[in-house]
Amino acid sequence: MRILRKLRLGALLRGFSLFLEDVNPLYPIIFLACLITIFFLKSSIEEEMGKLKSRQDWSTATDSIFHVGCIDTQEYLIDPVYQKQNATFIMLARNNELTDVLSTLENIESHFNQWFHYPYVFLNDEPFTEEFKREVQNLVSSESSFGILNEEQWTLTDSVELNENIQLQGDRDILYGDNPSYHKMCRFYSGWFYRHELVQQYEWYWRLEPAVEFYCDLTYDPFYEMSKSGKKYGFTVIIPELADTIPTLFRSTLSYIKENQINVGSLWKLFTLDYHLVSNLTTILDKLINYPHEIINQIEDDIAIEYLLDTGLNDNETTMLGLQKLLSRSNTKVPLEINKFSDLRYNLCHFWSNFEIAKIDVFDNEIYQNYFNYLDASGGFWQERWGDAPVHSLGLSLTLNISDIHYFRDIGYKHSTLQHCPNNVYNGELSYFATDERWQRQGKQNHYDKGIKTGSGCRCKCPDSAELEDNQSYCQDIWIDLIKDNNPNKLREPIFEYNELKSALKKDFNKKN
């Protein structure tokens, strides 16, 4: 949007420049009038842009930002109520990723950990080099631990079938499907990271990746705030998964739920589309109705057919309508919903798990652990390319409710090509202070984006590129709707009861006929 506006504005200015080549005393006045018009047009566009969801206040009783804008970190830390949590950063990295690892650490130290000094856990499938450990420890302001993954945690079954499946995924252009290490990473993060001995000593974790960027300062302790508010899992990005990477994951999840009689949490609503819209449907209608817009039409057809059967053939419009509906239904095939299982469908939404702040026990519990074991035994981590993000999301929904989740809207974050960066708070910027000379900010480094009244970030400096909230997926819309719900932890129920709806529609039918 910004690029298009700049191109259009540039084209207008170039046109005016050409216009002025044939000089006339009135032309400068005309040119000035045009500039004024453009200025007000630009202001109007910006006013419309202000209505975008990234500029709205999404705070609800269910979830809101812990501290809007900057707070005084020094005062925060000495508050007797504040308690540092038993928490750590976790990063899976290789020795040859040292440059990207250091880049991430510079980001997180500068924007957060220089004030809070939480430790780090680094994990690798091979021993870290002395250079890696030395460079890391020299950079960070806290202790670091370096662990190795064992064969069970990292190795996939070495078989001809495995290699053939991975090769076939590459042939079908499945993203990362032909990369064995990616399959191993997804499996490790799905069911092993929280069981590593270096992680087990902590209650909370914050997942990091090599080469991620943070755009804002975080002047409060997210671990403490989550603990205080009863939150268990925090995210920054929610997006749809690529369907061809997980064709059977949801079916396997439903099988696990059914076999173990799991009562899912209300978080399940964030990730599923429920086809069971009307209770007590007849058998045929239960097969024919899948979407809300089909409900009334199908029940009205039922009423017209019943009228025909009750009154017999008569030469009137209502009878002919019933006959038409009867013939039409007799030729109607039951629609095939290939991704519909037990009246449910996975909507592909998932928390982008390369950023997570969460309690260890949201995964380290019997239900989730058995869920991972069930998936692992099915072979889906290598027969398909199951990502840890959808596995985490569906697995969390087995036990957690909407109110257990927190959206870290005020954290500016980028990984790969996707990013989220919030607006600053208008007049909410406090002076930055560094605890070490390395993190001093001079000149432009100490200037930040202009704030707005509905902003949430602290000293954010956002890149001039696509913002997820301005181009958000339907997944974020679902999240917003759920936290606006007065009873978000209530499980989804059918919208209508068949007999009640039919009775109301029948009265209307009789009036018309």
| Percent helix, percent strand, percent coil in the chain, to nearest 5 | 50, 10, 40
**Tokens standing for 331?**
């030729």
**Closest to 183 measured CA to CA, from 339, 385, 21:** 385
CB-CB contact of 426 with 455 (8 Å): yes
**Tokens standing for 45?**
């566009």
**Tokens standing for 317?**
């419009």
CB-CB contact of 494 with 277 (8 Å): yes
CB-CB contact of 265 with 445 (8 Å): no
CB-CB contact of 143 with 351 (8 Å): no
User: Is 356 annotated in the active site?
Assistant: yes
CA dist 165 and 239 (Å) reads 26
Calculate helix-pair angle for 180-191, 366-378, nearest 10 degrees.
160
Calculate helix-pair angle for 388-396, 366-378, nearest 10 degrees.
140
Residue with tokens 């309690």: 359
Alpha helices in 386-457 (DSSP H): 388-396
Please give the angle made by the CA atoms of 105, 109 and 112, to the nearest 5 degrees: 130
- Is 433 strand, coil or helix? coil
CB-CB contact of 65 with 456 (8 Å): yes
Q: Ramachandran region of residue 440, left (φ > 0), alpha (ψ -120 to 50) or beta?
A: beta
B/e letters for 403-442, b = 16+ CB within 10 Å, e = fewer, are bbbbbbbbbbbbbeeebbbbbbbeebbeebeeeeeebeee
- Is 445 strand, coil or helix? helix
Residue with tokens 């499980």: 491
The count of other CB atoms within 10 Å of the CB of residue 83 is: 12
Q: Which entry of 97, 109, 356, 469 is annotated as an active-site residue?
A: 356
CB-CB contact of 498 with 281 (8 Å): yes
- Provide the Cα torsion 454, 458, 459, 461; round to 10°: -70
CA dist 461 and 422 (Å) reads 9
Q: Which residues are catalytic?
A: 356
